[in-house]
Every structure is written in structure tokens, then in C-alpha cells.
Structure 1
Amino acid sequence: MDEHQIENLLDEFEDEIWGGNSDDDLDLDENKNDENECSDNTDTEQSSADDSDTELQNSCSDISYHESDDDLPLTLRNKYFIGKDGTKWARRPPNQRVRTSKVNIVVEKPGVIGDAKNANCIVDAWNLFFTNNIIENIVACTNIFIQVNIRSKFGRESDARFTTVQEMKALFGVLYIIGALKNGHRSTKDMWSSDGCNIDILKCAMSEKRFLFLLRCIRFDDIRGREERKKLDKMTHIRKVFDDFTMNCKKSYALSKYVTLDEKLQSFRGRCPFRQYMPNKPAKYGIKIFALCDSVNCYTSNLEVYVGTQPAGPYSVDNSAASITKHMVNIIYNSGRNVTMDNWFTSIPLADDLLKKKVTIIGTIRKNKREVPPSFASSKNRSVFSSYFGFSNNKTLVSYKANKNKIVILISTMHHDKQIAQVNKEKLKPEIIMDYNRTKSGVDTMDYMTENYTVARTSARWPLTIFYALMNIGGINSQIIYQANTKNKISRLQFLKTLGRELMEEHVQNRITIPAVRIEVKSSIRKYFNVQQLQESRVKASGRCSFCERSKDRKTTKVCTTCIRLICRDHLISVCPDCYASV
């Protein structure tokens, strides 16, 4: 027997099937899409196996070949799995001389970068993402809308007065506090009521009437040129604010080695030219937003709203999965990082293209892809928990039988071997799937965190809905920056309440000097914001007493220290310091 015959004989008996022989069904979540999910109840599952890279090998099982393999020589069939398009996947892994591939060496230290390192208080961390330029732009656009469309509908100009940067920040602070207390769907009448069941701190910033007025009028673009801009961009209503916010996210934090690419659905049921229906999402209807997040702490680094087909022009882009993926991950090109994604994004050509940019991927892949061998998609003649491996040009394809009728297929450019993890006494699972499960939930966790303390309120305006999403994400990102800089661990609830108070502080300090503000409101401001001494000024040195009849025309220079109203000696009440402090 010559060497060639011996090699063929060995190839025929090579053990390519990994896993146990148990036919027991696993507890699966039947509501999840089989092709999107990678594991049988492995979303939060942690392996108790020894993580040493030891290969576990079981007895051979016969492999059922698709009839398309029949025309191939026997030796070629034994060495390769063949895809429908002729792609060859070697059964044996390539020889690895080093443990970590050169393409997986991260050259940038993850963490806070640039000017963000100087943010040592909560509001400063938030200001990294919502800069003064963004807020000034929102204030300017809101005032334009008030001037053009609103003021003519009010009899008094004071009822439709312009807003300021300080008041806009106070509005955002009110929204964060309402979200932190999970009152997003509670009526404003109830929150501003005087029956003892209200949120007392809200009236320090503004009245209920003013709050509703600002939410009605807030705008993110100049309405005077909107119709022309809409001819080029469907999202022109909030394009500048969205792009500026996303840019600030990119330049404030360097992601870790593992990042996640996925989409989130911002709930919205109003009229919108790019509203999506996603039956697998809790909200069903809404605005789809692609997000690139850190798999470790869920920091959001890149965002893109899916707006469908844009008019011809600078905002017309390719909406294919590969194009969107490249646009989302281009900020980590040549960095050695790994991107985890689901089967909507994943394809073999995309894996090759990203590998050239020194970015690896782990992702589920659909069974109907032409590069996938038919035997990888079939569950016949395979034992539960068994795995097939195929290797081709720095790519590893694995087919895992999760239960009796479920096959999961993944592609990885980070793994180049047949490592198997022992999950429990019977269950075995490829290391590729274990790494996928550990890194796939970055966007889902961010989405859960934003919905848990959301600032969003019911609205029929989609630009405001997108801005609510930015506020939620900004709240998470700013907490990550703050904790990284100060090493001060703080709960999300406490962080959001403190952020809301700090955003309101400058405005309420100005508000307490306004004579028209009610006494009880000023008392609340002193109570919640620790205003010890009021720096107040009066326009006139003297004037008519506020309590005397007009016919008396009694002039005075004395004022009430609380409401700053003029008061004569007849209406003056003497109070000792102790009694005044208890008021």
C-alpha cells in the first residue's frame, strides 16, 4: 500500500463530528427566530467548563452528503465540505503558529479619550454629548418656530415667550427626572398637582403649562427652509442634531476588543415616511436605529437611522446589509477589534472585506447562503450537540445541532480551530458559539437600559421621538464616562436624578429672582436646591405698595424678601430668624 492510498484511508476515517450522542430535546424559547438566535437558552448562559483549549472528540458518525457532492472525487469529498456555489471548506484547521492572530491585536487602549477625560462631574459628562452648540441650535430653531407659527395664536406675547439655553437644559432635566421615576406615561396634571401626590421638584423648573408649551414648540431645524431640504433628505428635521451627537459619541470613548452591531426599534405609531414594522420587537411599530455598542459596558459609539430610499443627492446611500455594516464599523477599521452581529448583517463576502480592514467578525449566518455546504444545514443523521467545522481563507464555519430539529450556523474570522466547551455533563458547545453568546447582547442591553428609565413621552412627531432616543443614549454614555473618570460607582437611578437636578439648577436660580413666581415655588427652590442667599435686584428704587388700594397711592421702598413685591409699613410683618427659617 503506497503513501497516497494510506492518506486516503486516513481521510475516510477522520473524525469531523464533535459532541455527544444524547437525543434529549433542550428547553428552547420558541418565540425566538431560529436563524437569528445561536443557542438553546444560551442568551445569558455561562459555561462552567474548563476554558483551556482542549479538543473533545467523540466517536465517528456517518455524514450524509448532498447529491451535488456525488460528482466529486472521493478524496476531495473527504478533505472538503462543498458549498452550493462550489466554495470549498477544509475539514482540517490551518496550522496556527501563534495563539493570537495578528489581525486580532488591538492597538488602541479602550476607555475615555480626548477632552472627555476632563469630565469629572455628572453634568460635564453629559455636556460632552449635548454640547452648547447643539443646545443653542435647538433654542434658535425653537424660537423661530414660536415666532413664525405660534405667537400669532396667543393674545399676550408673554404666553408665547422665547426660550433660552438655561430653560432648555431645565426642560431636559425635567424629562430625565420624570424618566428616572418611570412616570413617562403619567399625566402632567397629576405630576404638577397640589394634592400631595405630585413631583414637587418639577414646579421649581417650570409650570405645567410652560412644560407642555416647550414640548409642543421644540424644533431641531429651521422650518423656513425645510421643504427644500426635504427634497434631498427625509431626515432633515433632526439631521444636524443627530450627526453632531453621533460625532460626539465617537470622539469621547475608545471601544473595547469586542463590539456589537444590531438594531433597536424606537417605539412610534404616528406618521413617518420611514416607520418600520418589526413583529419580533415589543413595540412592533417604530423607527429602526442601527447601533454599534461596546460589548462590555454597552457604550454606544455609532448610530444610524434607517430612512429607506433617499432622494438622489448627498444622503442617498446603499441600504444593503453589507453597506450598512461597513458604514457602521468604519470607525474601528485597522484596530484589531471583533464585531458580533446577527444573520441580517452577516455574509461571507462581508467577512472577507472586513478582514482586509483588520476587523474580525462572529455572526450567525442563514442556511440558504450559497457558500454554506448542504450538509451543514441538514439535521439528519446527526446527534444532538454535534458540530461540523469548515475552514477557508482565514474563515471558520461551524454548524451546531442545538436540539433534535435545530441547526445553528456561524461564521468567524477570529477563530481558526475546533475548540469545544463542556457546558455540562452532556452538552458540548463550540467556542465560537460561546464567544458569540458572550458578546452579542451589547445593543440589546443598551436598549433595555434606555427603556427602563426612558425620557420618552407619547408624541405624534417623529423628530421628537428620535431626540428622546438620543437623550436616553446620552444618559447611558455620560454615566460610563463619569464612572471611568471618577471611579465613583453610582446606580443608574441616582445618576439620572442627579443629572436632572444639575441641568435644572442654573435656571431655577434665575427663576427665584422673578417677582411673578409664586411664594411656594420659591420655597421649594430653596428647599431642593439649597439657595441660601438671593441676589435680587429691583428695577425701581420705590413704588406703590402691592397691598394698598390704588386710590391711596402709598409709595414705599421696602420689599418682601421672598416674592420681591413692594410693601408699606402697614402691611409689614416682623418675623424672627428662627420662625423665618421654619417657613
Structure 2
Amino acid sequence: MSRQRFHAILWSLHMSDPKEDEENDRKRNTAEYDRLFKIKPLYTEITAACKAHFQPHQNISIDERMVASKARISLKQYMKNKPTKWGYKLFVLADSSTAYTWNFFVYTGKSEFLSGQGLSYTSVVDLLPFPLLGGGYTLFVDNFYTSPALFGDLFAKNIGCCGTIRKNRVGFPQTELNDLPKKAERGDMRWIRRSKLLFIKWMDSREVTMCSTVHAAFSGQTVRRNVKRAGVWQTKIVTVPDAVVDYNRSMGGVDVSDALIGYYSVLRKTMKWYKTFFYHFLDIAVVNSFILHKELHKMRVDPGMTNPHTQKSFREQLSAELRGDVPAAPPPLPPSSQVCMPAYYGEDATKHRRYCRRCSEAGNKTVKTPIYCTKCLIPLCLTSKKNCFKAWHTSD
């Protein structure tokens, strides 16, 4: 594809009907105006596809995701604790074990959340379509979402919850009798149980407060910590609540998904805000497909099966298939003959190449050749400057 053709396609990229866009623009500053109208067709299709092709495992997590942008638009948000501090904010529900993005929505501003429960409560409920998702899950969230009201309501719908909690949250027990001492040692903990809600304070390098509806307070688990004593670093075994262990193990689903997207993101500079979302939706689709590829690979029990694709090779294969120029598989090797003779793997010597056996054994594992031995059935170099074919058959 030429550069001009690529830019012509890029300039024409649009996800909605321009005439309908004009009608929506006339509704600006009214309640009927849809700020996400230009991305709605693909937006709804991607979220529906994410839910349709995978059912999450038991542990799920919810967190924010930032899509980098420097656009001067009111949709852009700032989050100081994120690696990408400026951009569009998405609320994402991901599977904890695979990092599959199962549901998400774009944050458009506080004016969209007028339920009276607050953004943290409403965003979690919106990401959990109970008729479709079902019950029996354990949800892990950070202290932005955790509240006794939310955890109690989700427990009534058969969804357990665990997360860090802010001590000034409404419903958090304010008691000095069961509080940690001012100079608490690492591993010290206190807890209070109110009905199905368990509140825990645990001292690590700093105080950690947790709330859970699915854990016991303590079952004897320990962790290793490096402690400096008399100027010498030592390893110390400290006790740890069950909720902290499971939280650290299962909370990172969205972060892992962000990392997988960031390795090979298709995001590119653009002057149109809706194109930024187009690139990100494409990233979500590709990474989710890659995760499904790995999950399907695990389900197969063929011991002779090859390893699954890496994300790079998966994207390369996907790109080739979308272009429609996937090279044909090398033809099957002919049956062994009685005489060692050189032959080509295919008609096109530039496509059908394999690593030379002799060069690989000599330590140079990057040399490929289109020639193989018809009797030994191994690839060997045969050029005017290098004759591994002869050297292989004449060596002792």
C-alpha cells in the first residue's frame, strides 16, 4: 500500500453516519446530546463481543484505564497515580487470571452519574450486568470503589468482594479499643466483623486497611519481608491476613491487560478524538483474541502440539491474514531417497526457508536456507560462498 493510499483511508475513517452526527450536534447543550455518538457503533459492538466470546473465571477485578491523549477536549482526564496521566478514562472489568477485558465504559464526566450513590458505586454496578454475568464471583477493587454499602449490596446478589478501604468511608468502624498501637510491629493485625463484612487493619511497611465478604480474618499465612536491623538487612517472616494475599494475587487483571496492550499498541497521533478510541478498541480486540488463543491452547491435550503464539507472532499472523497474503504452508517433504540430493522447499525461495542445521550446531542460529537434503530431510546452506550441504555429508 502506498503512503498516499494509506492516508486517504485514514482520512476517511469514520465510525458513524455523518448526517446523524450533524443531527446530534444540533442537540448540543441539551439532555439529548450524546458526547460519544461518533464512536457509539463500534463502541457497542466491541463491548458486546467482549462479553459474548468469554466467560470470566471466579476472580474478577475492576480498575481505571487511561488512553493517552493530549487533545483539548473536556473528555480528557488527569490521574496522577497512573503511568499515563493525561487521556481518556475507561472503567474496566477484567478477568484476574487471564487479564481478558470483559466489559468497559468510557467516562464522560460527573454529570452522567446522578443516581445519588456516587461514581464509585455506580461504575461497579454498571460494569456488572447481573443477568448476563451471573453470580458466584469474587470481585477485587481498590479503595476508590470499596464501601460497606456496595459490598453489602453485591453480597446480597451472590457476588463476594474484597478490596482496600479508606478509613474515612461511611460505615468503616471508628474504634480505638481495637485499633493498632502507634508503634505497631510488622505483621500486627486487628479485625472487626459486622454481619458479612470483615474489616482488617494490618501493619506492613505502613498500615493497610481491608474490607472483605469472602475471607476469614487469619488462617496462618505468612510472607517474607526484608527488615533492616543494626544496619544489616535481614529476612523476616511476618503474618498476613488472607484478604491481603488474595488481593495481591487477583487485583492486577486490568494492569496486566494494559501492559499487553502497551507492548504493541496501534495507537498513533491523530487530530480526531474518535480515532484515538478506534485505535484503542482495535487494541482491545487483538489482545482479547490473543488471550483466547492461549486459553484454547491450554484446553488441547495433544502432547505433540507446538507452543502457542507469542503476542508478536500472533499479531504478525493476524496482520497477514487480514491482508489476505498469508504464504502457503511449505509443501510436505518428499519421501527419503537413496541418494543425498539438494532440493528446494518450494518454488519461491524467498518464502520457504528454514534454519540451516549445520550453522545452528556451529552456534549461528540465524542463518536460513531454502534448500534441504532429500535423504537426510534437513535444511542445509548451498551457495557460491557457503556449502554446508557438502560439509555436512563429508564430515565424520
Return the TM-score normalized by structure 1: 0.49
Q: Does 1:500 align with 2:319?
A: yes
Q: Does 1:448 align with 2:275?
A: no
Query: What do residues 146-182 of structure 1 show as CA deviations (whole Å, max 9, x unaligned)?
Result: xxxxxxxxxxxxxxxxxxxxxxxxxxxxxxxxxxxxx
SS in 1 for 2:144: coil
Q: CA deviation at 1:378?
A: 5.8
Query: What do residues 351-371 of structure 1 show as CA deviations (whole Å, max 9, x unaligned)?
Result: 000011110111111111132
SS in 1 for 2:129: helix
Q: Indicate the structure whose relative CO is greater, using CA pairs within 8 Å and at least 6 residues apart.
A: 1
CA contact (8 A) 2:217 2:241 kept: no
Q: 1:276 to 1:529 in 2, by over 3 A?
A: farther
CA contact (8 A) 1:287 1:306 kept: yes
Q: 1:414 to 1:495 in 2, by over 3 A?
A: same
Q: Map of 1:226-241 to 2, 5 A cutoff?
A: 226-230=21-25, 231=27, 232-241=33-42
The separation in 1 between residues aligned to 2:199 and 2:276, in whole angstroms, is 40
Q: CA deviation at 1:421?
A: 1.3
Counterpart of 2:44 in structure 1 is 243
Identity %: 28
Q: CA deviation at 1:379?
A: 5.3
Structure 1, unpaired ranges of 5+: 1-205, 509-525, 531-583
| The one of 121, 126, 131 aligned to 1:327 | 126
Q: Map of 1:298-447 to 2, 5 A cutoff?
A: 298-309=99-110, 320-331=119-130, 334-374=134-174, 375=176, 380-403=182-205, 406-424=206-224, 425-447=236-258
CA contact (8 A) 1:322 1:350 kept: yes
The Cα RMSD (Å) is: 2.6
The separation in 2 between residues aligned to 1:237 and 1:317, in whole angstroms, is 26
The separation in 1 between residues aligned to 2:349 and 2:7, in whole angstroms, is 25
Q: CA deviation at 1:381?
A: 4.6
Q: Does 1:491 align with 2:293?
A: no
The separation in 2 between residues aligned to 1:310 and 1:226, in whole angstroms, is 22
SS in 2 for 1:253: coil
The separation in 1 between residues aligned to 2:82 and 2:320, in whole angstroms, is 33
Aligned partner letter, 2:223: V
SS in 2 for 1:259: strand
Aligned partner letter, 2:172: V
SS in 1 for 2:191: strand
Q: 1:316 to 1:352 in 2, by over 3 A?
A: closer
Q: Does 1:291 align with 2:92?
A: yes
CA contact (8 A) 1:505 1:529 kept: no
SS in 1 for 2:38: coil
| The one of 438, 457, 479 aligned to 2:290 | 479
CA contact (8 A) 1:271 1:460 kept: no
SS in 2 for 1:388: strand
Q: CA deviation at 1:326?
A: 0.6
Counterpart of 2:8 in structure 1 is 213
SS in 2 for 1:296: coil
Bigger radius of gyration among the two: 1
The separation in 1 between residues aligned to 2:44 and 2:281, in whole angstroms, is 11
The separation in 2 between residues aligned to 1:430 and 1:293, in whole angstroms, is 24
CA contact (8 A) 2:217 2:242 kept: no
Q: CA deviation at 1:274?
A: 1.2
The separation in 2 between residues aligned to 1:499 and 1:379, in whole angstroms, is 58
Structure 2, unpaired ranges of 5+: 28-32, 225-235, 301-306, 328-347, 353-396
Counterpart of 1:465 in structure 2 is 276
The separation in 2 between residues aligned to 1:377 and 1:263, in whole angstroms, is 31
SS in 2 for 1:427: strand
The separation in 2 between residues aligned to 1:254 and 1:334, in whole angstroms, is 10
Counterpart of 1:99 in structure 2 is none
Return the TM-score normalized by structure 2: 0.71
CA contact (8 A) 1:379 1:401 kept: no
Aligned residues: 304
Higher strand share: 2
Query: What do residues 388-418 of structure 1 show as CA deviations (whole Å, max 9, x unaligned)?
Result: 1111111111111112xx2111111111342
Counterpart of 1:262 in structure 2 is 63
The separation in 2 between residues aligned to 1:426 and 1:482, in whole angstroms, is 40
Aligned partner letter, 2:99: C
Aligned partner letter, 1:214: I
Aligned partner letter, 1:499: L
Higher helix share: 1
CA contact (8 A) 1:346 1:365 kept: yes
Query: What do residues 122-143 of structure 1 show as CA deviations (whole Å, max 9, x unaligned)?
Result: xxxxxxxxxxxxxxxxxxxxxx
Query: What do residues 165-207 of structure 1 show as CA deviations (whole Å, max 9, x unaligned)?
Result: xxxxxxxxxxxxxxxxxxxxxxxxxxxxxxxxxxxxxxxxx11
CA contact (8 A) 2:180 2:188 kept: no
Q: 1:412 to 1:504 in 2, by over 3 A?
A: same
Q: CA deviation at 1:330?
A: 2.4
SS in 2 for 1:444: helix
Q: Does 1:223 align with 2:24?
A: no
The separation in 1 between residues aligned to 2:36 and 2:217, in whole angstroms, is 45
CA contact (8 A) 1:340 1:436 kept: yes
Q: Map of 1:85-100 to 2, 5 A cutoff?
A: none
Q: 1:285 to 1:334 in 2, by over 3 A?
A: same
